Amino acid sequence: MRKRLIGIFTFIVILTGIVILLPKGTRAEAAVKISAKVLHMAKGQTYKLKLTNAKSTKKVTWSSSDSSVASVKKGRVTANKEGMAVITAKYGKKVYECSVSVSGGTEDSLIIYFSATGTTGDAAAKIQEAVGADIVRLVPKTDYSSADLKYTDNSCRANKEQAENTMPAISTVIRNLDQYSTIYIGYPIWHGKEPGVIRTFLSKYSMEGKTVLPFCTSGSSGISGSMQHIRDMAEGADVKNGKDLTHSSVKDIEEWIKGNEISVKSDDGGYMEENMKMKIGNKEVDVIWEDNESVKALRELVGSGTVSINMSMYGGFEQVGEIGTSLPRNDTQTTTLCGDIVLYSGDKLVVFYGSNSWSYTRLGKITGLDRAQLTELLSEGNVTITIW
Ligand SMILES: Cc1cc2nc3c(=O)[nH]c(=O)nc-3n(C[C@H](O)[C@H](O)[C@H](O)COP(=O)(O)O)c2cc1C
């Protein structure tokens, strides 16, 4: 027995020695990730971005493409004015990006949502199109990995949280909730009810005196299983009929909101701007468009039709194509990043899968695709870009 114990002990010592002596590169290291790739914020709010799995001893350099819109200090992003900015974290030779869209903070409606895989985020964006509210994403302190969301595995984090009614910590801070009288609260349905992030939010922020419209996305369950919980947690609020928006258009959403006696943008006789859509080849991509004169003119050019632009590969980092007309420009020296869409010399559209420094006018940013996916789309031959 003693011999066996000595044997096991020696084996462990040797194994530990091997691991310590292994060259750094051969040790398994968890991939470094940015805690959010897209942030919707309202003016005045702050949010702490993190590089998960980054070594605390290695420097991260944070910067913003437009500090007047969103500034960043040690990862803490502050929304300063309406617009779009890209926050960049430089870590060693790698660059991680987060697109931030800032709404004016002047509205009296606020959309607050949690989305683990993006579907509820898309629904939230449609509500914003319908009502013009400010929008804030609830981000958990520890993001959900795909293993955390694997609901076929009883012991995955999301399943455990739902079974135990856990309230996971959130890093989003909303400072100016008082200014809003109507709150839209959105979430994916997890095991028939609202996820823990929503429980955390409602336990921290009072909804008293406010009108609350819950919305969700789901595989098929719908919102009913979460409604009573929301009513109980949003004490003192007028909680309206919630809706599952998984397959809803902006028009459907308008009907739901009006059905709850709340007005929508098109009630003002205002022209409701549908968000411009874009395809690279046959692939539709999500774009956050800038709010500037150039994008306004592009929107007018597209009208109710389609604009096709024949693009050509250039420089190993971009594709460029003639729009066929000149748009208003406000060029500034810009260092572009992967996914940026810019106007070059007033009449050319450029889409980047790499980086370049030149004088451009920003038009927008492709979201939801990483560098490898954009490189695959844009570096393997000339493409046609369609905007409608
Ligand atoms: C842990 C977990 C549990 C889920 N439970 C349900 C459920 O009970 N009923 C349902 O219809 N969909 C369920 N879904 C599917 C999500 O509600 C649906 O995919 C949702 O649109 C995801 O939204 P998101 O992309 O904003 O995270 C579940 C998903 C996960 C990850």
* Ligand 1 centroid – CA 266 distance (Å): 31
- Torsional sign, CA 162, 168, 170, 176: positive
| Distances, alpha carbon 282 to alpha carbons 186, 306, 377, in Å | 31, 14, 10
pLDDT digits (tens, 9 = 90+) for 262-310: 877 666 543 334 578 899 999 999 888 887 899 989 998 998 789 999 9
Residue with the two structure tokens 């606020």: 110
* Ligand 1 centroid – CA 365 distance (Å): 27
pLDDT digits (tens, 9 = 90+) for 206-257: 999 999 999 999 999 999 999 999 999 999 999 999 999 999 988 899 999 9
Ligand 1 site, residue 103, Cβ cutoff 6 A: no
Q: What is the pLDDT of residue 337?
A: 85
b/e code 292-313 from CB counts within 10 Å (16+ = b): bebbebbeeebeeeebebebeb
Number of other CB atoms surrounding residue 99 within 10 Å: 26
Of 121, 151, 118, 131, nearest to 254 by C-alpha is 131
pLDDT digits (tens, 9 = 90+) for 304-333: 789 999 999 999 999 999 999 999 999 988
Residue 137: pLDDT above 80?
A: yes
Q: What is the pLDDT of residue 5?
A: 54
Q: Which among 191, 220, 223, 248 is the best mutation to test ligand 1's pocket, defined by most ligand atoms within 8 Å of the CB? A: 191
* Ligand 1 centroid – CA 218 distance (Å): 5
* Ligand 1 centroid – CA 158 distance (Å): 10
The CATH class of 33-268 is alpha beta
Residue 22: pLDDT above 60?
A: no
16 three-state secondary structure:
helix
What's the rounded Cα separation, in Å, for the pair 72 and 139? 17
Q: What is the pLDDT of residue 263?
A: 78
Q: What is the pLDDT of residue 335?
A: 84
Q: What is the pLDDT of residue 28?
A: 55
pLDDT-based confidence at residue 24 (cuts at 50, 70, 90): very low
Residue 379: pLDDT above 90?
A: yes
Q: Which among 189, 193, 194 is the best mutation to test ligand 1's pocket, defined by most ligand atoms within 8 Å of the CB? A: 189
Number of other CB atoms surrounding residue 83 within 10 Å: 20
What's the rounded Cα separation, in Å, for the pair 298 and 364? 12
Tokens read off for 128: 């914003």
pLDDT, the chain, mean: 87
The CATH class of 278-387 is mainly beta
Q: Where are the domains of the chain?
A: 33-268, 278-387
- 312 phi-psi bin (left φ>0, alpha ψ -120 to 50, beta other): beta
* Segment among 32-46, 47-61, 120-134, 374-388 with least mean pLDDT: 32-46
Ligand 1 site, residue 118, Cβ cutoff 6 A: yes
Residue 9: pLDDT above 90?
A: no
Residue 165: pLDDT above 80?
A: yes
Q: What's the CA angle centered on 257, arms 253 and 263, to 5 degrees?
A: 120
